Structures are given as structure tokens and as C-alpha cells.
Amino acid sequence: MREHDPNDTFKSEKNIHTNFKEKMTYGDYLQLDTLLSSQKRLSDHHDEMLFIIIHQVSELWLKLIIHEIQAAIGAIERNELQTSFKMLARVSKIQTQIIQAWDVLSTLTPTEYMEFRDKLGNASGFQSYQYRLVEFVLGYKTPYILKIYQKDSELFKILDKAYHSPGLYDVTIQALSRAGFPINPGVLHRDFSKTYEKDATVEQAWLAIYRNVDKYWDLYQLAEKLVDIEDWFQQWRFRHMKTVERIIGHKTGTGGSSGVGYLKKVLDNYFFPELWEIRTKI
């Protein structure tokens, strides 16, 4: 019996393109030369490659999360709720990917990390401007954070705009008002540079929606999409905290934060507080 020649499979595909002297390739389209040459280790340690790639991949996913949430905000403002659902569902799926990334990073042991940690200087994930953009579009605003980015005027401009713009929950609450719910005007016209604080009129609106699902089906679906995102976000925060604790214990972070202590504190922050509180009252 003749052994299978691996080339036979390729040869049987008569229409596969092989001449790319004047055509765009897969690598050209994705700019792989740039992408794959961006992993520049500052040490000779084998595991620094893992550390760099995990964080770069997470930043790519964060970019897509921002892209989808900003588009969803626009759709909700136009009252196109069904359009926003697809975008928000995609965000939740992306979140599962960045959560699983912690499982890969946790294969880095404390001893291995300490071999190159000093090379990071004061660079830290705490300074991720895309992570801050995600927080801003979800409505969590912290003024002191902006100081980190003042050295880059263009970047600061992007962050400052998001900081003063309505977040995902703000436009959702506006949708509640358009649907006829009596929302406190102070909430509808609030200073969007402030982190949202729960409001009784918003809670009452959500209670009415959850008690009359058939009547308010679209708003009910929107609420559950928001809960999905916050649920996954909290799981991401928890896995982040436990991975840091596993690798560096309770050492101070390279960026100067208290490390695990800081990460534990942010676990108590909620983007959409009424959507969690009503669950006890339904």
C-alpha cells in the first residue's frame, strides 16, 4: 500500500492561489510583520515572552470591547436596542477569552517572574489606558487616573472625552425615560464625569420591567445583557487578583499600587447597581 504523500492534498486543490508577487497576502492584511515583531524582551528569561504576549493579547481584546460598547451606546441612543444586543453579547464572549488568559499567565511561577520583574521598572497593567477606557464607557470614573496619561496629549484627549461622555448605563437609563418611566431629572442630566450612584427612580423602573417582562421585553433583554457584562467583568477582576496573589503574593505593584490589596477593593465596585439590588426584591 502506497504511503500517503502530504503534498497530494495540496495538489488536489487546483484553485489555491500561490503567486502573491502583486497580491495582498494574509500576513499583509493583518500586518503580521509589525504584530509579531512587537514582543521585545528586556531580559534573556524564557518566560518574559509569555508575560508580554498575554498582556498584548489582552490589550487587543480590550480594543474590541471598547469598539463594541461604543457602538452599542450609539445604538441605544438611537433606540435601536436589538442592534445593541448583538454587540453586547459579543462583549460577553470576549470577556470569557480575557478571563481564560489569566489561566495561562498563572503558569508563571513566583521564582520565574522575579527573574525579570525588575526590568519592568514602573510599567504596570494599572496604566493600561484601554482598561481605563473600558471603565469609562461602563460609567466608572476616577479623576486621579487621568493624571497618568498627561504626558501624551492625543491619548489624554481621547480619555478625557470618554471621561466626560455618558456611559453605557447612562444611555440605558435615558432609554428607560423614553419608554415612559419617571426617572429623576437629576440622573438624566447629571455630570457624566462622576461615577454613577444608585437612584430610587431607576430601581423602580427596573422592578417594573422585571415584573412585566412581556410588556418591556426589549428593556428586559437589555438589562440582562448589562448583567452579563458586569458578571464577567467581576470574574475577570477576581481572576486578576488571584493570579497576582499567586505570582507575587502581597508585594507592592510595579506601578506603585498596593497590588492584591487594591485589586480586592475594586471587586466591590458596581457599574449597574440597581440591576443587582432588585434581584432581592423581585
Q: Are 39 and 49 in contact (CB under 8 A)?
A: yes
Q: Please indicate if the annotation marks 17 as binding a ligand.
A: no
55 has binding-site annotation: yes
Neighbouring residues of 110: CB distance < 8 A, sequence distance ≥ 6: 246, 247, 248, 249
Residue 254 annotated as binding? Answer: yes
4 in a labelled binding site: no
Residues 6+ apart with CB under 8 A from 26: 32
CB-CB contact of 278 with 219 (8 Å): no
How far is it, in rounded angstroms, from Cα 259 to Cα 274? Answer: 29
User: Does 46 belong to an annotated binding site?
Assistant: no
**CB-hemisphere CA count at 13 Å for 246?**
14
Contact 236, 98 (CB under 8 A): yes
User: Does the annotation place 73 within a ligand binding site?
Assistant: no
Give the whole-angstrom CA distance, residue 164 versus residue 229.
22
Establish whether 240 is an annotated binding residue: yes
Binding-site residues: 51-55, 113, 117, 240, 254
Annotated binding residues for heme: 240
* Residues contributing to the annotated binding site for substrate: 51-55, 113, 117, 254
